[in-house]
Amino acid sequence: MQIRFYGAVREVTGSMHMLETEKDRILLDCGMFQGRRREADRKNRVMPFDPSIITNMVLSHAHIDHSGRIPLLTSRGFTGQVICTRATADACEYLLQDSAHIQESDADYLNYKRVRESVADLTGKSREEIKRKLKKNERTDPEAVEKYINRYGLEKIEPLYTSEDAEQAISHFSGQPYKTPVTVGRDMECVFYEAGHILGSAVTIIRAKDQEHSLNICYTGDLGRFDKPIIRNPELQFAEEHRDIDLMLMESTYGNRIHEPVADMAPHLKRVITETVERGGTVLIPSFAFGRTQELLYTIHELYNKGEVPKVPIYVDSPLATRITKVYGEHPEVYDKQTHRDFLREGANPFMFDHLHFTESVEESMALMREQKPHIVLSASGMCEGGRILHHLRYKIHSEKNTILIVGYMAAHTLGRRLLDKGRQYAENGRQGEPPMMRFMNKEYPLKARVESLEGFSAHADKNEMLRFLKESNLRVRHIALVHGEEEQMRAFGKTLENAGYKVFVPRAGEGLRVRK
């Protein structure tokens, strides 16, 4: 057997790896690259193999950096199944449609912008005059844009994939229960175990057999933290036939970092909410629609029940997050014991309570942006690269009353990372002098709002938790390939593992590794 590493190699997005035997090719994840727009678009459009050669695909979980290019795979000749847990299949139905809508909207905007600027240069007309002709009822008119593209022979920007492509991709999904063997190839099966990362996330054991022996490949996907609310801990007890691991593909996102203790999450959140409300401000939380939003709602619900924070209105301003919260409500079978004890036994929904509002329409969202009374907003996207969070930021970033609360990983070159880095630097300087300027939505804004970070809410295990998974599980691991980590974190974690006695391989993009007994 050979494995080839195509994505999330010395970086944290674009997860994609291929297992090859004489009979089959199995794809592990098909994720989207995220970061600088042009670079990410270029990388996302290139599929490094012919999708028609893939037998089946195994998906570790639904986050877009692991699932986001599946519509490209299925639209370019892949005819197999996308095998995953049931909760992952349900979540992807919303996530991939949302991703397609973003691709289409981005392409429409870029085409409008290209036509407005190019036609003005070609004809000598003002950009404002061209702009008026490209709009209808104050919205961009796609037909008018298309007409000018054809008339002047301009290159049209196509979306990465369309809503129809996403719908086709969803038809390939096959949701499976945990701890149940599923055939993925000839003489090859996979079994899912709880990864503790998000709803439906899985550690996957792939077992390949021939007449002489069998090989076990373990793909951790993204490992979660221990003792977090809602979902169960990462699995530590594996079936006997799955314990001898010939190769483990292991994430390393926080390979050289230690998170705040899980027990400190609620007190830290309590302090941020209380202090911001006392200033008369808004707590603005860029939050991933899937996973982080639901954990925050759960924790705020507990704080409200105990009367530990002012009960200001809470708004989930993300149609996707609203739909994903519904998916959480439909899968109580994966909740941990504490959630069952604190909520389900009382007949309560962890994600529905007084003061909580879900905004659906654009009009509701725009009204909320102008709201001056203290409140809390959770809005996508998590890394501030798109979505309604950008509009909230432009209304709230310039007031020191407000708080921007960072609760998850921010990839390099994203607006979220710049907010975090510049906000920390400004705070370390005592918030003296001119505030840093942040450029987004084609304008610059002063970062006067306070920036706080709650790393305890990360869905990724830190260094110690990843070591705990290795040491306390009953797995016997021969060899580890590190993926899904920026190079600095990955190399540091590799040294930690080698010092602990593990054989470690750090692949490069496109590199292969032969797996033998």
Are 373 and 473 in the same domain? Answer: no
Are 283 and 390 in the same domain? Answer: yes
pLDDT band for position 491 (cuts 50, 70, 90): very high
Q: How far apart are CA 121 and CA 407, in angstroms?
A: 44
| Mean pLDDT score, 165-172 | 98
Are 391 and 354 in the same domain? Answer: yes
Is the pLDDT reported for residue 171 higher than 70?
yes
- Comparing 41-45, 270-274, 331-335, which segment has the lowest mean pLDDT? 331-335
Is the pLDDT reported for residue 281 higher than 80?
yes
pLDDT at position 211:
64
Distances in Å between the alpha carbon of 471 and those of 253, 304, 387, 453? Answer: 18, 38, 40, 29
DSSP secondary structure string for all residues of 135-185:
EETTEE-HHHHHHHHHHTTPPPPPPSS-HHHHHHHHTTEEEE-TT--EEEE
Are 375 and 292 in the same domain? Answer: yes
> Dihedrals φ, ψ of 131, to 5°?
-60, -40
Distances in Å between the alpha carbon of 103 and those of 38, 163, 284, 387, 413? Answer: 13, 9, 25, 12, 19
Of 111, 146, 163, the last residue of a domain is: 163
Are 452 and 503 in the same domain? Answer: no
Task: Considering only residues 237 and 338, tell me which one the structure prediction assigns the higher pLDDT.
Answer: 237
Are 128 and 208 in the same domain? Answer: no
- What is the percentage of the chain residues whose pLDDT exceeds 90? 75
Of 408, 442, 457, the last residue of a domain is: 457
Is the pLDDT reported for residue 410 higher than 90?
no
> Dihedrals φ, ψ of 248, to 5°?
-110, 125
Are 340 and 414 in the same domain? Answer: yes
Of 457, 472, 488, the last residue of a domain is: 457
Amino acid (one-letter) located at 38: R
* CATH of residue 192: 3.60.15.10
* CATH of residue 345: 3.40.50.10890
Are 393 and 475 in the same domain? Answer: no
pLDDT at position 263:
87
> Which H or E run includes 16?
strand 16-20
Are 208 and 158 in the same domain? Answer: no
- Comparing 110-119, 251-260, 489-498, which segment has the lowest mean pLDDT? 110-119
Are 476 and 487 in the same domain? Answer: yes
pTM of the model: 0.88
Are 376 and 233 in the same domain? Answer: no
* 38 Cβ contact list (under 8 Å, min separation 6): none
Answer yes or no: are the C-beta atoms of 247 and 217 closer than 8 Å.
Answer: yes
pLDDT at position 346:
73
Is the pLDDT reported for residue 43 higher than 90?
yes
* Structural domain harbouring 480: 2-97+171-257+460-514
> Could you read off the pLDDT of 337-389 as tens digits, one per residue?
888 887 777 777 888 899 999 998 889 999 999 999 999 999 987 788 878 89
pLDDT at position 106:
86
For residue 89, the Cα-to-chain-centroid distance in whole angstroms is 15
Chain-wide mean pLDDT for the chain? 93
User: Is 328 buried (19+), middle (13-18) or exposed (0-12) by CB count in 10 A?
Assistant: buried
Q: How far apart are CA 170 and CA 161, in angstroms?
A: 13
Number of domains into which the chain is organized: 3
Are 358 and 291 in the same domain? Answer: yes
Of 406, 408, 412, the residue nearest 450 (C-alpha): 406
Is the pLDDT reported for residue 38 higher than 90?
no
Distances in Å between the alpha carbon of 225 and those of 197, 370, 462, 467? Answer: 7, 37, 7, 12
> Could you read off the pLDDT of 120-161 as tens digits, one per residue?
778 877 778 888 888 887 778 889 999 989 998 999 999 999
Q: Which of 28-37, 91-100, 136-145 has the highest mean pLDDT?
A: 91-100
